[in-house]
């Protein structure tokens, strides 16, 4: 059992936090709105709240805020994130899901990494899983991308403890591909699948 810190208290933060709490970990919630942090923490067994911008108790910090405010949130925590593994779950999707808003040749995760302390390690994960599907339980494939091998190993261990199957797709530049995959899933849900109750599964023969 370990403490996992989450920045954010919205729908996706709730889904991820719920899965983490059910796996027996302690969840620490941060939000600019302390009341929202408390509301989410109250839904979870043994969960706590932290003061926004102060050092998280967990060595793994999940960034679960909308992409538009993600880099700013990391910058606001600043050196409080020294040495932390930061899991970026965001999808930098343009309004209307017409594309991605990231600069050419970069990804949301890479832009977030620029705002993080040099000693922190950003790992892309969870962005290809819809929150309500994650909350249902069951074994799902979770893709991860990061440059630091130890950070990837630690996130893989966390994902496995949640009943997910971690699948390493490479270094942090591959986050751009995962973000495009997230956009594709939104398009599939709205068009070809006709349902948001979908998830990707890799069949490894």
List, for residues 146-205, the tens digit of each pLDDT value. 999 999 999 999 999 999 999 999 999 999 999 999 999 999 999 999 999 999 999 999
Confidence of residue 127 (pLDDT cuts 50, 70, 90): very high
11-62 tens-digit pLDDT: 999 999 999 999 999 999 999 999 999 999 999 999 999 999 999 999 999 9
Q: Is residue 57 part of a domain?
A: yes
50-86 tens-digit pLDDT: 999 999 999 999 999 999 999 999 999 999 999 999 9
Q: Is residue 196 part of a domain?
A: no
Strands 60-63, 121-124: pairing is unpaired
Rounded Cα distance, 164 and 157, in Å? 10
CATH code of the domain covering residue 9: 3.40.50.720
| pLDDT value of residue 4 | 98
Number of domains in the chain: 1
* 103-107 average pLDDT score: 96
| pLDDT value of residue 1 | 73
pTM: 0.97
Rounded Cα distance, 15 and 20, in Å? 9
Q: Is residue 161 part of a domain?
A: yes
Cβ 14 vs Cβ 43: under 8 Å: yes
Confidence of residue 2 (pLDDT cuts 50, 70, 90): very high
| pLDDT value of residue 182 | 98
Q: Is residue 198 part of a domain?
A: no
**Buried b vs exposed e over 103-127: b needs ≥16 C-beta within 10 Å?**
eeebbbbbbbbebbbeebbbbbbbb
Q: Is residue 103 part of a domain?
A: yes
85-95 tens-digit pLDDT: 999 999 999 99
Percentage of the chain modeled with pLDDT above 70: 100
Q: Is residue 32 part of a domain?
A: yes
For CA atoms 43, 1, 166, 114, give the dihedral sign.
positive
Q: Is residue 195 part of a domain?
A: no
Residue with tokens 């490479």: 170
Rounded Cα distance, 173 and 109, in Å? 8
112-125 tens-digit pLDDT: 999 999 999 999 99
Cβ 100 vs Cβ 93: under 8 Å: yes
Confidence of residue 128 (pLDDT cuts 50, 70, 90): very high
Structural domain harbouring 102: 3-190
Q: What is the DSSP string of 7-42?
A: E--SHHHHHHHHHHHHTTPEEEEE-SSHHHHHHHHH
Cβ 74 vs Cβ 63: under 8 Å: yes
Rounded Cα distance, 139 and 142, in Å? 9
| pLDDT value of residue 175 | 98
Q: Is residue 204 part of a domain?
A: no
């Amino acid at each position: 059992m370990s403490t996992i810190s989450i920045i954010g208290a919205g729908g996706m933060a709730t889904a991820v936090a719920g899965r983490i709490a059910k796996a027996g970990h302690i969840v620490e919630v941060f939000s600019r709105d302390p009341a929202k942090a408390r509301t989410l923490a109250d839904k979870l067994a043994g969960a706590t709240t932290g003061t926004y911008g102060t050092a998280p108790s967990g060595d793994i910090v999940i960034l679960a805020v909308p992409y538009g405010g993600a880099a700013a949130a990391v910058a606001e925590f600043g050196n409080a994130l020294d040495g932390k593994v930061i899991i970026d779950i965001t999808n930098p999707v343009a309004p209307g899901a017409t594309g991605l808003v990231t600069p050419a040749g970069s990804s949301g995760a890479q832009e977030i990494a620029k705002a993080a302390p040099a000693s922190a390690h950003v790992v892309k994960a969870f962005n290809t899983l819809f929150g309500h599907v994650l909350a249902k339980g069951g074994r799902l494939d979770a893709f991860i991308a990061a440059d630091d091998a130890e950070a990837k190993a630690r996130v893989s261990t966390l994902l496995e403890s949640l009943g997910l199957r971690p699948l390493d797709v490479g270094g942090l530049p591959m986050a751009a591909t995962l973000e495009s995959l997230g956009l594709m899933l939104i398009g599939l849900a709205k068009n070809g699948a006709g349902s948001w109750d979908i998830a990707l599964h890799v069949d490894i023969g």
